[in-house]
Amino acid sequence: MKISNVQIKEQGKQSNQLSSLFKEMLNLQSEYQMRVSDESLRYLRRLQGIAAPATPGTVVIPKKGTLLSGSGSFGKPIEINLEIENIQKSYSYILPMLTPLISPSGVTWYAIADYLPANLLIPPNSSKSLRVILDVPSDLPSDVYHGSLTLEGFLKGALPVAVTIQKQKNVKQLAKKPAPKPLSKRRKKP
């Protein structure tokens, strides 16, 4: 069998092309797996929100001196931001959850909350941001709703939350202006 340098170079180019295709396939597959796991965690968080912290016998006591607040109106999401600092010497795994929100008049709002990220793993002596995004239902009465944000795995208590829902300002319809008079009627008679 006879082998020349040209044949070896061509075989090397073909193997490089195959390896780059394989790398691309692995990248696409890992990106897909990350998306599936993220969506799965969000789904599980919503299922968990059905049961906990509303499990019978659960008492949620908000911490004094802190208040997370947000305000908005119908059809627009409300965002509550929080910076969480871990001052322990070990990693801290945090699972945020919002309790039902209740107005002074007794209206109870079981808010659909999106937690970004869905859970946090905070290294020692560092901090991470948490965003809680609430969808406001169209039939929710305007009022101030109070509840708590529990951070399972981080705080024994909870952080008090106050969400103000404002009435949408109605756009005033402009009064119809009367049609302009024809030029012949606008002229003053001498």
- Domain chopping of the chain, boundaries: 1-51, 68-166
Q: Which percentage of the chain shows pLDDT scores above 90?
A: 17
- Match 């295709």 to its residue by tokens: 21
Sort 10 into a burial class: Cβ within 10 Å, 0-12 / 13-18 / 19+.
exposed
Q: How confident is the model at residue 173 (pLDDT cuts 50, 70, 90)?
A: very low
- At residue 103, the pLDDT reads 94
Q: What is the rounded distance in angstroms from the CA atom of residue 74 to the CA atom of residue 78?
A: 10
- Match 């509550």 to its residue by tokens: 80
CATH number of 68-166: 2.60.40.10
Intra-chain end-to-end CA distance of the chain, in Å: 118
- At residue 107, the pLDDT reads 93
48 φ/ψ sector (left φ>0, alpha ψ -120 to 50, else beta): alpha
Q: Which percentage of the chain shows pLDDT scores above 70?
A: 69
- Match 């322990």 to its residue by tokens: 88
What pLDDT, in 10s, does the model give residues 80-139? 998 888 888 888 888 888 888 999 999 999 988 889 888 888 888 898 999 999 999 888
How far apart, in Å, are the Cα atoms of 21 and each of 34, 66, 71, 164?
20, 53, 50, 53
- At residue 108, the pLDDT reads 92
Q: What is the rounded distance in angstroms from the CA atom of residue 48 to the CA atom of residue 34?
A: 21
Torsion on CA atoms 20, 26, 32, 37, rounded to nearest 10 = -150
Q: Residue 121's closest CA among 89, 143, 82, 95?
A: 95
Query: What is the C-alpha radius of gyration for the chain, rounded to an integer number of angstroms?
Result: 30
Pairing between β-strand 68-73 and β-strand 158-166 as defined by DSSP bridges? parallel
Q: What is the rounded distance in angstroms from the CA atom of residue 53 to the CA atom of residue 139?
A: 25
